[in-house]
Structure formats: structure tokens, C-alpha cells
């Protein structure tokens, strides 16, 4: 280790400053959610959480994630395979296009689907004629959520697959494996942590999305309310304790996400280290 570092006083001053900043902006708000939720006791909390409208919102949120996340996982795997394992013209353009939903404001993400499927939208009249409802209904919520979470899995997988190279796949093919065998037995196990990472982030956003879903949902209680929308309604009705009680469910989800994310980061770091030829000194058996 190098001796080049700061005096102890400066070091602790910097650490203190960083912690105050993080405290004011991250930790105090997080504590506030839980403290507000339990302000009037556990009973009030439980009542708010077990309210039928809350349960309906939980159900819808789970349903939305259960559709959007798998869709984006399949897309992410396909896109990563095409982009990381092959070279072709326009790869950078494709990567930028995949990033698009990250750059678009959530409100606009909702708006475009209203313009497509809303009553005044492009397909509005046709949908009405066939008695189909997308906007202000569950399909719209799923669509907007899928759009917003579109890049997550692909963005995590592409660098991981690129770093792995093609050698192992080529070796598998030269040993007689077919394309699916190569994918499921070689590629997928090699990117499993990257995939899980992407899924975790994708899921957190899918369950927590507010702006886009707010535009397309219509806020029909018990029907088109996801958890974040339910929080908003309760808050706007000055039912603060209930709003924060429901918010704790989402905050807990966020904490679980962070823990799983840290575990994956820790695991993959260890994997990388193990990949180094650190046993070189063990000597040759021959």
C-alpha cells in the first residue's frame, strides 16, 4: 500500500461531509417513510396495508411486473446475443436506440401510448369499434411499464457477454453441441449473475414506475391503480399515514433490491478474482 494519503483529520472531514450529504438526501427520507407509516401505531398501519384497494394495487403491480420483466428478459437475451457475439455495421446506432427509453421522460413514455391507443389516438376508433380498451386499462399499464423498463436487461447483459468473448461457444460447437445446447449450457450459466442483476433492476423499476403509468392508468381505484399510484391518491386525500404505510411496501422492495444487487456485485467480484491464475504456483503434476 502506498503512503500517499491525506492526514487523518482531512480524511475524517471528507468522510463526515460525504456522510452528511448522503444522510440528508438518502437516509433521512428512507427513515421518514417508515416513521411516518407507524406514527399512529401498528394497527393503523396494518389496516392501511390490508385495505382491499391496497391489495388490489399489490396484485396489479405484481401482474404488471410478471408480464413486463419476462418480455424484457427475452429481448435482453436476444439483443445481447446478436450484439455481443457478432460484428455488424450500425451496432452503435442500435445500442443508442436501445437506450432511448432511458432518455425519454416517463410522462412522455405514457403520452405516446395515449396517442396510439387513446380514444383520440391513431388506433382509438378501431379499438372502440372492437370494444377493446388499452388506455385507462391494464394493457396500457403493462405497455407503458414494458417501455420504461425496456433497456435494463439488455444493458446489463451486453457488456457481460462481450467480456466473455466467443471462445467457449466456439469450443462447445467444435465438440459437437448445437446452437441451443451451446446457449443453455455455456452462455446462460456464464451470464447468470449479469442476468439476475438486470432482472432485479428491471423489476424494481417495473413495480415502482409512476409517471408513465400515471398517464395511461386513469386512476380507477381497485382496477387500474398500481402501488405507486395508490400512494399518490392516498397522499392527495391527506391520508398521510395510509400513504406512507403503502409506501413502506415499495421501500421494502427497494431495500431488498439493493441487498440482492450488493450480493451479486460481491459474488461476481469474487468470481473474477478466482478466474485469475492465482494457483499458478501450485506446480505441475507432470
Partner 1 sequence: MNKRKRAKWILPGFGLTMGYTVIYLSLLVLIPLSVLFLKTSSMTWEQFIDTVLNRRVIASFQVSFLTSFFAACLNAVFGVLVAWVLARYQFPGKRVIDGIVDLPFALPTAVAGIALASIYAENGWIGQWFAVWGIKIAYTPLGIFVALTFIGLPFVVRTVQPVLQDWDRQVEEAAATLGATRWQTFTRVILPHLLPAVVTGFALAFARALGEYGSVVFISGNMPLKTEIVPLLIMTKLEQFDYTGATAIASVMLVASFVMLLVINYLQWKTNKLNAARSEG
Partner 2 sequence: MSIQVVNITKSYGSFTAVNDVSLEIPEGKLVALLGPSGSGKTTLLRLIAGLESPDRGQIYFNGEDNTHRDVRERRVGFVFQHYALFRHMTIFDNVAFGLTVRPRKVRPTKEEIRERVHDLLKLVQLDGLAHRYPSQLSGGQRQRVALARALAVEPKFLLLDEPFGALDAKVRQELRRWLRRLHEKLKLTIVFVTHDQEEALELADSVVVMNEGRVEQTGSPQEVYHRPANPFVYGFLGRVNLFQGRIRGGKVTLGDAEFAAEWADQTEELPAVGYVRPHDVELSRTPQHAQSLAAEVRHIYALGSLMRLELKRLDTQETLEAEVSLQHFAELNVQTGDTLYATLRNVYVYVEPENRFVQAALPAASALALRANG
Smallest gap from Cβ 193 to partner 2, in A, equals 11
User: Does 36 help bind partner 1 (rule: CB under 8 A)?
Assistant: yes
Smallest gap from Cβ 81 to partner 2, in A, equals 17
Q: Judged by CB, which is closer to partner 1: 24, or 55?
A: 24
The residue range among 45-53, 88-96, 191-199, 278-286 that interacts with partner 1, by the rule CB under 8 A, is 88-96
Pick what 62 binds: partner 2, partner 1, none; C-beta below 5 to 8 Å, kind-dependent. Answer: none
Pick what 190 binds: partner 1, partner 2, none; C-beta below 5 to 8 Å, kind-dependent. Answer: partner 2
Pick what 186 binds: partner 2, partner 1, none; C-beta below 5 to 8 Å, kind-dependent. Answer: partner 2
User: Does 184 help bind partner 1 (rule: CB under 8 A)?
Assistant: no
The residue ranges that bind partner 2 (CB under 8 A) are: 167-168, 170-178, 181, 185-186, 189-190, 274-277, 279-286
Smallest gap from Cβ 283 to partner 1, in A, equals 31
* The three cell numbers locating residue 214: 400515471
The DSSP code sequence of the chain is: --S----HHHHHHHHHHHHHHHIIIIIHHHHHHHHHHTTTHHHHHHHHHT-HHHHHHHHHHHHHHHHHHHHHHHHHHHHHHHHHH---TTHHHHHHHHHHHHHS-HHHHHHHHHHHHSTTSSSHHHHHHTT---TTSHHHHHHHHHHHTTHHHHHHHHHHHHHH-SHHHHHHHHTT--HHHHIIIIIHHHTHHHHHHHHHHHHHHHHH--HHHHHHH---TTTS--HHHHHHHHHHTT-HHHHHHHHHHHHHHHHHHHHHHHHHHHHHHHHHHHHS-TTGGG----
User: Does 112 help bind partner 1 (rule: CB under 8 A)?
Assistant: yes
User: Does 244 help bind partner 1 (rule: CB under 8 A)?
Assistant: yes
- Which positions from 51 through 70 interact with partner 1, judged by CB under 8 A? none
For residue 120, the tally of other CB atoms under 10 A from its CB is 9
Pick what 223 binds: partner 1, partner 2, none; C-beta below 5 to 8 Å, kind-dependent. Answer: none
Query: CA angle, corner 145, sides to 246 and 120, nearest 5?
Result: 110
Smallest gap from Cβ 179 to partner 2, in A, equals 9
The residue range among 43-51, 189-197, 236-244, 275-283 that interacts with partner 1, by the rule CB under 8 A, is 236-244
User: Does 198 help bind partner 1 (rule: CB under 8 A)?
Assistant: no
User: Does 250 help bind partner 1 (rule: CB under 8 A)?
Assistant: yes
Amino acid at each position: 500500500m502506498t503512503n500517499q494519503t491525506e492526514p487523518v483529520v482531512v480524511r475524517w472531514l471528507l468522510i463526515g461531509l460525504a456522510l452528511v450529504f448522503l444522510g440528508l438526501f438518502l437516509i433521512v427520507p428512507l427513515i421518514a417513510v417508515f416513521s411516518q407509516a407507524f406514527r399512529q401505531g401498528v394497527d393503523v398501519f396494518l389496516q392501511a396495508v390490508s385495505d382491499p384497494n391496497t391489495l388490489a394495487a399489490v396484485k396489479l403491480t405484481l401482474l404488471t411486473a410478471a408480464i413486463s420483466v419476462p418480455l424484457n428478459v427475452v429481448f435482453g437475451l436476444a439483443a445481447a446475443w446478436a450484439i455481443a457475439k457478432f460484428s455488424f455495421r450500425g451496432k452503435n446506432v442500435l445500442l443508442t436506440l436501445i437506450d432511448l427509453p432511458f432518455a425519454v421522460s416517463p410522462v412522455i413514455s405514457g403520452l405516446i401510448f395515449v396517442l396510439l391507443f387513446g380514444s383520440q389516438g391513431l388506433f382509438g376508433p378501431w379499438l372502440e369499434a372492437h370494444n377493446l380498451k388499452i388506455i385507462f386499462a391494464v394493457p396500457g399499464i403493462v405497455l407503458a411499464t414494458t417501455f420504461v423498463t425496456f433497456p435494463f436487461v439488455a444493458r446489463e447483459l451486453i457488456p457481460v457477454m462481450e467480456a466473455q468473448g466467443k471462445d467457449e461457444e466456439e469450443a462447445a460447437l467444435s465438440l459437437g453441441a448445437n446452437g441451443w445446447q451451446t446457449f443453455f449450457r455455456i452462455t446462460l450459466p456464464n451470464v447468470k449473475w449479469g442476468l439476475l442483476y438486470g432482472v432485479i433492476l428491471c423489476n424494481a423499476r417495473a413495480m415502482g414506475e409512476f409517471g408513465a403509468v400515471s398517464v395511461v392508468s386513469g386512476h380507477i381505484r381497485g382496477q387500474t391503480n398500481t402501488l405507486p399510484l395508490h400512494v399518490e391518491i392516498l397522499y392527495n386525500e391527506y391520508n398521510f399515514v395510509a400513504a406512507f404505510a403503502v409506501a413502506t411496501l415499495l421501500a421494502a422492495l427497494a431495500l431488498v433490491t439493493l441487498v440482492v444487487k450488493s450480493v451479486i456485485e460481491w459474488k461476481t467480484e469474487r468470481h473474477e478474482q478466482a478466474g485469475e491464475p492465482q494457483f499458478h504456483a501450485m506446480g505441475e503434476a507432470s
